[in-house]
Structures are given as structure tokens and as C-alpha cells.
Amino acid sequence: MTFAARRAVVTGAAGGIGAAIVRSLMVDGAIVHGLDRDATGLERLVAETRGHGTLLPYHIDLADRIGSDAVFDRLNAALGGECDILVNNAGLSRLRPFGQTDDGLLDQLLAANFTGAFRLTRAMLPALKASGRAAIVNVASELALVGQPGYAAYCGTKGAVLAWSRALAVELAADAIRVNAVCPGPIDTAMLSAEFAAHPAPAVARQEEIGSIPLGRLGAPTDVAAVVAFLASDAARFVTGAAWSVDGGKTSR
């Protein structure tokens, strides 16, 4: 696959999966605009990828509507009116029983997992249309497909991402914009480690999770990045409206 000179935007760029996506696109020639609320993480990623392509960092909190609008304007200006690849990867997970999920947490998860992606994509739409071959890849979750106790709000927000992706795929096809979703299962990232740490017996929780995966291991961020790169590439030029599970077979049980 080659992304030579293609302009890509990746949210949640400093995290485990996001950083892997950024590296995957960069190594194949894309000019990547990386968005994240973790300014330190962005600086570290820029330093680590220096000399391996072009990465332009943007510090942004997608939940901050006023602040993010200003970044959207700056991003569109830097792109020069065209965007070829948009990866809505930013997300947040919290383990919380349904009855204890207050409005504050619900709003936080909605903003991080769905509303921010919706608003960014809307802001980028003219630039995506101008590409003539744009691809949007939205990172949903295995929990958009199956339920899990303690994750009602997370499941709901990731389910929204999946339904929205399908609707966009139909609506934007006439503009030569493909829209697909990936649904990662348990991926070995800091976010998953934090979820394990929230359990009374973290080591047991980790082993139980691994035991639920037919391939017998946690996924790596690069496992997800490879699928995202495929869906963003011309190799997937007839693929739109699809949800790709990257979960080691977990949701196939």
C-alpha cells in the first residue's frame, strides 16, 4: 500500500492504537495531522517519528466545543482544502455499573467516543469531498457488537459510532467518500491496563480476558493499525459501510 503525499488526519494520535495508526500511515508516505488532548504524548510521538515522514501535531480536547472549533479551522487551513484520510480513533472507556453511571460520566463518554468524531467529520466534510477518493475509518469496539456488564455507557457510545458509520457510508458514497469502522477487541494498551487495574484482581481479570480470545492473546496496536491502513487504501476501494472485527475471534464465539 502507498499513501504518498496523501493528507491524513488521525485523532487520539498519541495513544497506543492511535500512535500505531500514525506510524503505519507515515511509513507508507502519508502526511499525517495528529490530534490528541495529551500534549506531552504528542511531543513524544513527534520526537519518535522524526525522520520517518511528516507528522503535524495538534493539541485538542474534542469535548471542548469552542476550543476544538478553532483547531478545526487551523487544521483545514493546513490541509489546503483537501483531506484524503480521516481516522476517528480518539476514545475513552470507563468501567461503571449502569445504575452508578451519572450524567457527568455519560456526557464525558459521549463527547470522547461519538460527538467529537461527529463534529470533526462535519468540519472536514468539504476537504474530504475535494479529495475525490477520501476514506473515513471510525474506530468503534467489540462492545459495539456485544454487551458486557459494567460498560453500558461505553457500549452505547461505540454502538452509535457503528450506526453512524453505516449511515455516512450510504450518504457520502455519491461524493466518492468511503466510510468504514473497525471494532477492536482487547488490545494491549494503557487504556486496557487501566481497566484491568479497576478490577479487584487485575491479574485474574487479564488472564480471563486472554482466555476469552480464540487466538489466545491480547491484540497489539499494530494489529488494528494494519486493518485501518487497508481500509484507508485503494486496495479497499470497493469497501464501504463495513464493520471489521479485530478481536482474535472473540465476538465469533
pLDDT confidence of 65, banded at 50, 70, 90? very high
Cα atoms in the 13 Å half-sphere on the side-chain side of 59: 7
Q: What is the pLDDT of residues 142-176, one digit of tens each?
A: 999 999 998 999 999 999 999 999 999 999 999 99
Mean pLDDT of 7-36: 97
Write the CATH number of the domain with boundaries 7-184+221-244.
3.40.50.720
Question: Is residue 179 pLDDT above 80, yes or no?
Answer: yes
Strand, coil or helix: 182: strand
Taking the CA atoms of residue 210, residue 215, residue 221 and residue 224 in that order, the dihedral angle to the nearest 10 degrees is -130
* Mean of the per-residue pLDDT values of the chain: 96
H/E stretch holding 201 reads none
Q: What is the pLDDT of residues 73-104, one digit of tens each?
A: 999 999 999 999 999 999 998 889 999 999 99
Q: What is the pLDDT of residues 204-214, one digit of tens each?
A: 999 999 999 99
C-alpha cell at 232: 484507508
Question: Is residue 1 pLDDT above 80, yes or no?
Answer: no
How many whole angstroms separate alpha carbon 202 and alpha carbon 214?
21
Q: How many CB atoms lie within 10 A of CB 48?
A: 13
Task: Quote the DSSP letter at residue 139.
Answer: E
Question: Is residue 50 pLDDT above 90, yes or no?
Answer: yes
pLDDT of 190: 86
Residues with active-site annotation:
154
pLDDT of 63: 92
pLDDT of 94: 87
pLDDT of 95: 83
Contacts of 231 (CB under 8 A, 6+ apart): 135, 137, 178, 180, 182, 239, 242, 244
Percentage of the chain lying above the pLDDT 70 cut? 100
First to last CA, the chain: 32
- pTM (2 d.p.): 0.95
pLDDT confidence of 235, banded at 50, 70, 90? very high
210: left (phi over 0), alpha (psi -120 to 50) or beta: alpha
